[in-house]
Chains A and B, each alone.
Chain A
Amino acid sequence: MAGDSGDGMQLAGSRFTDATAIFGNDLATLPDFPAEIRAPAGTVAGVSAFQIHFASRDILTPGDTPDVLVAMNPAALKANLPLLQRGATILVNEDAFSVRAVQKAGYAESPLEDGTLEGFTVKRIPMSSLTTRAVEDLDGVTSRDAQKAKNLFALGVLSWLYDRPTDVTERWITGKFDGPVEAANLAAFRAGWSFGETSELIDVQVKVDRNTEVLPGTYRNVNGTEATALGLIAASVKSGLPLVFGAYPITPASDLLHALARRHDMGVRTIQAEDEIAAASMALGAAFGGALGVTCTSGPGLDLKTETIGLAVMLELPLVIIDVQRAGPSTGMPTKTEQSDLLQALYGRHGESPLPVLAASSPGQCFEAVYEAARIAITYRTPVILLSDLFVANSSEPWRIPNAASLPPIDPHFRTTSTGAFLPYTRDDNLARPWAIPGTPGLQHRIGGLEKADGTGAISYDGKNHARMTKLRADKVDGIEVPDLEIHGEADADLLVLGWGSSYGTIRAGARRVREGGGRVATAHLRHLRPMPKNTGALLRKFDRVLVPEMNSGQLAHELRAQYLVNVESYGKVQGQPLLPSEMEQEIWRRLSS
């Protein structure tokens, strides 16, 4: 569904998604926003699109080549046509193809007339005028309301086309709007549905059965941001630590700030800091006071937090840093996705400054990933970086809601007493140091960025001590228990595809297609980047060929070669777009046949 940014395509898309999820299909979605807030209306730069992929079987990605495109104006058609394959269906808002609009989109002539759409099934629907006609007699509805409701008309047509339940959408409209706007939106939606039903233009209705293979449980739709917010709140509830979240607005990380800022009811404290340095420092200061300190950013914001993260390494206090990666360097392409901060997360601090790094593999998995990041941070007294990215933050999928009671316990295990002088740099079996928070009588102590003597924590410039502390800090991180890598597919396949982060679904989908075509390929996915699962090296050596696809120029490949002295083949993509299943399929076949 594509239109001008003012056309409400994200709204239409998310409504279609909810109806689809509730109906019982598996699905994945991907919104694509324009970079500028108010790009000139009608231009390609101003196109906002929403993609959904759904089926009666397991869905792994938002899909690559849409079967149906709804284009609300010429620019939306122009921006999205390259994604389609011949034979696809295009529903256009015919009213929007005026000479001026066509030119604004950069077409010399109307693409509806000049053969551009040859080979496609084009349905020309006068959506604007049909919407106006449907709502004009309603009390108090202005022509502007009518204009704005055309996205619901389009949603109505699409809902009929795929036989979606209408009650979910209608309930949402009534809950969300009042008065004339509610009436206009309802009328537009129903008019769209009736148009689908009665017009001869749309001659087929597609039925997509429920997915019957899903695990029993209660589900909801979440995007990565929502799942992350819930995961953080869950970690706060389960650990008993107040959540203090410091952030400075930056796309695409701000949405997490917005989501958490609403959660006073769960005791969440958010602070919009003066900059990212402060945001990280506030989270760390809160951690010193016994809170779950969390900070979230993207792009250049991570650079700024680096100094504080180094302090957290030295202080050995829990801190969760969420990096919603976007295309860089510098401001780069702020609304486009990338996985190019891996090496920065692993190594981007001065001195030897090790910390655990995790990556979220799907929108719903963000919950588990951030919960685990918090658990590790608290258990091991360490900053943890969680890498997500714009793709996973904004995409959505059905999420099987866990039971609070069955979440893994998180015990902050504060030190409350001491026999003899309190020594803040002694260690437990995990090599974690005691966390004694202000207010605890008798345990007053000072910590800081200066190197400290093993055990006592007193300032120390002794070289041997520094060597010991450097090793202790690294051993602590590398000793963190992480689950083994699991192979999906045959253990003796000809090729292993190893990915990390948000490309999980894409790689699985690409490999599935290859297997369906008789290719022998296995996949595995890294959720822990430091430490890596213990069986990683052995597993890499078991396969003759290993392919590592990532949305960067080969950062994981670089790391695997360095750590395990194995050759892996890198497939890098830095186009600001996620990897595609078709692309994976092709890359896998290419290697299997050579």
Chain B
Amino acid sequence: MAATEQLTKADFQSNQETRWCPGCGDYAVLAAVQSFFPELGIPPERIVFVSGIGCAGRFAYYMDTYGMHGIHGRGPALATGLASARDDLSIWVVTGDGDALSIGGNHLIHALRRNVPVKILLFNNQIYGLTKGQASPTSELGKVTKSTPFGSIDAPFNPLSLAIGAEATFVARTIDTDKQHLPAVLRAAAAHEGAALVEIYQNCPVFNDGAFDALRDKKRGEVNRIYLEHGEPIRGVVRDADGALRLGSGGAPVVHDAHREDPAFAFALSRLSSSPDGPTPIGIFRDVRRPVSGSDLTAELAAARAGADDAALDALMRSGDTWTIS
């Protein structure tokens, strides 16, 4: 690859034929990501996409970077291992709501608490797509799916609340078809030093069509999207006398502070909407600094390895009590 500033969208398009259903939100995300990546200035060979299993998981095949399509839910663990071996890569994880929050829930929360330098893109379509339409851990109560013909009886996760509870240092939400907002969020995630969790509301036209219409639809979206901008007042959100945040008017205006150490503020923002059928905050909820997993260690170990030659190995093997027989 020549000078990185000459990179274009085409440099990130692999020759693998995309195989999502027509109209799937995943196409929009892929196009946005491929258009955005040249801007990072990182040559494709230093970028790795790791994914789990699901429709979203196919993403890794379509980026002309290094990629690993792993196993269901284990993307964050695979990526953690890769990050621990290599601090010179830009590592991205693509996961679905089932992948990240059901089978892989444990790996997700631990990657976040460790603050592993990986960017996790959670494609939330509130359904199991690849397995053809079962309820997912983000499906709303009462949702009728193939596996819940009488309506889901299990309360859903709020992925951002979960991430904040898991000590995530960067938590954001965006929408598959928002060609401005999605890259802006990715830009901030890429600039963040530690783990970043980006929830992307993604429409599945086949098994859960319209789940995000209240936000995706141009007209309704104008009303319902509550954009979070650091340092700016949050439209439609006020603080009551008791300090609680709520949607509406008639309280004190609230200025967004994504850098607040105390996670309570970001958590309160994440609780403002429980499902995306009304006013919903979009943007960067939290972006704080905390030591990154292994940040100094990788360099320290590389330096140690440089000195770990035969002589060092001989010395190690001969340490402790030894005796010689001649």
Contacts and interface: CB of A to CB of B under 8 A. Distances in A.
Interface of A: 18, 21-22, 24, 168, 172, 214-221, 230, 233-234, 236-238, 242, 244, 246, 264-269, 271, 273-275, 277-278, 281-291, 293, 307-308, 310-311, 315, 401-405, 438-450, 458-459
B242 interface: no
Nearest to A283: B81
A269 B304 CA distance: 11
Interface stretch (B20-28, B69-77, B183-191, B276-284): B69-77
Nearest to A290: B85
Nearest to B310: A404
Contacts, number: 220
B6 interface: no
Interface string B63-88: 11111111100100111111111101
Nearest to A281: B77
A175 to B, nearest CB: 10
11 contacts: A230-B316, A237-B308, A268-B301, A273-B110, A278-B107, A281-B70, A284-B78, A308-B71, A440-B45, A446-B14, A448-B70
A172 B65 CA distance: 55
Given A233-B316, A449-B53, A18 B321 contact: yes
B110 A438 contact: no
B78 to A, nearest CB: 4
Contact of A286 (B53, B82, B309): B82
Given A237-B309, A237-B313, A449-B53, A281 B325 contact: no
Nearest to B48: A438
B150 interface: no
Interface of B: 1, 14, 16, 43-50, 53, 60-61, 63-71, 74, 77-86, 88-89, 106-107, 110, 294, 297-298, 300-302, 304-305, 308-314, 316-318, 320-326
B84 A404 contact: no
Given A215-B325, A236-B305, A439-B45, 12 more contacts: A220-B317, A220-B320, A237-B313, A277-B107, A281-B70, A281-B80, A283-B81, A289-B85, A441-B1, A446-B63, A448-B69, A449-B70
Given A277-B74, A448-B60, A448-B70, A271 B80 contact: yes
A589 to B, nearest CB: 35
B24 to A, nearest CB: 18
B291 to A, nearest CB: 16
B322 A218 contact: yes
A401 B322 contact: yes
Contacts of B317: 220, 230, 234, 401-402, 404
Contact of B86 (A308, A438, A449): A438
B299 to A, nearest CB: 11
B84 A286 contact: yes
A448 B49 CA distance: 11
Nearest to B90: A438
Contacts of A216: 325-326
**Leading 4 A-B pairs by shortest Cβ distance:** A448-B69, A285-B81, A267-B305, A282-B81
B69 A267 contact: no
Contacts of B69: 446-450
Contact of B77 (A277, A310, A402, A450): A277
Given A274-B107, A281-B78, A285-B80, A242 B61 contact: no
Contact of B321 (A221, A265, A458): A221
B277 to A, nearest CB: 34
Contacts of B68: 285, 288, 315, 446-448
B304 A266 contact: yes
B46 A438 contact: yes
Contacts of A448: 60-61, 67-70
Contacts of B53: 449
Given A18-B321, A447-B69, A282 B84 contact: yes
